[in-house]
Amino acid sequence: MVVKEYDSPCGLLYMASIGGELCLCSWQGLSACYGIFEEADKPSGAAGASDYRSEWDVLEKAVNELDEYFAGERKKFDIPLRLYGTDFQNRVWSELLKIPYGQTMSYSTVARIIGAPRAVRAVANACARNPLSIFVPCHRVVSRIGKLTGYAGGLEAKRMLLDIERGVAIPEVEAG
């Protein structure tokens, strides 16, 4: 596993790759890597053959795709992803990948689509545990009435991501 920081316009992200796939893009700091390490060490989560150069290549591609995304030039990510989670979490995250760029969906709608209409809180919890923020667009999930609610990167980051997808210009941040 290789880990890299990415200073996005919305805040610092920690990214990691394993087995030639991106497995982490997190607002949570390096502590988020520990869970990935534990999952990767399990027999069912075996990472497979990997080398340092290929891991860096994955992270560099992820950085390039994020740069394009934040510039408003990328609407779909091509980076290979590796998701570590429960079956339920993976069902939720798979559904999030289907939410079109610039659109939102409610937690209750996600719950209904995955066949668990009473599991709205569990869907919200799966979104909160999403290890691949932005790439698996949990920022596109909102309350039933369209209100922005919980996001690991904070509500301002969620608002900025949705604004980018709606074509709203993000102000330049001055170095200082």
Q: Which amino acid is at 167?
A: G
Q: Tell me how crowded residue 40 is: count the other CB atoms within 10 A of its CB.
A: 20
* Enzyme catalytic residues: 138
Helix (H, G, I), strand (E, B) or coil at 130: coil
What is the Cα–Cα distance from 163 to 149, expressed in whole angstroms?
A: 15
pTM of the model: 0.85
Burial class, 169, CB count within 10 angstroms (exposed 0-12 / middle 13-18 / buried 19+): exposed
Predicted local distance difference test score (pLDDT) of residue 46? 47
Question: Which residue shows structure tokens 């497979």?
Answer: 48
What is the Cα–Cα distance from 51 to 128, expressed in whole angstroms?
A: 30
Question: Which residue shows structure tokens 């570590």?
Answer: 84
The tokens describing 150, both together, are 């919980």
pLDDT values of the chain reduced to their tens digit, one per residue, 176 residues: 788 999 999 999 999 998 889 999 998 776 666 666 666 655 544 445 557 778 889 999 999 999 999 999 999 999 999 998 999 999 999 999 999 999 999 999 999 999 999 999 999 999 999 999 999 999 999 988 888 888 888 899 999 999 999 987 555 544 43
Give the chain's length: 176
The tokens describing 151, both together, are 């996001």
Predicted local distance difference test score (pLDDT) of residue 31? 66
What is the Cα–Cα distance from 17 to 29, expressed in whole angstroms?
A: 15
What is the Cα–Cα distance from 172 to 176, expressed in whole angstroms?
A: 12
Predicted local distance difference test score (pLDDT) of residue 45? 46
Distances (CA, A) of 18 to 46, 88, 174: 10, 22, 34
Per the CB < 8 A criterion, the answer to whether 96 and 141 are in contact is yes
What is the Cα–Cα distance from 31 to 175, expressed in whole angstroms?
A: 27
Largest CA distance in the chain: 49
Predicted local distance difference test score (pLDDT) of residue 176? 38
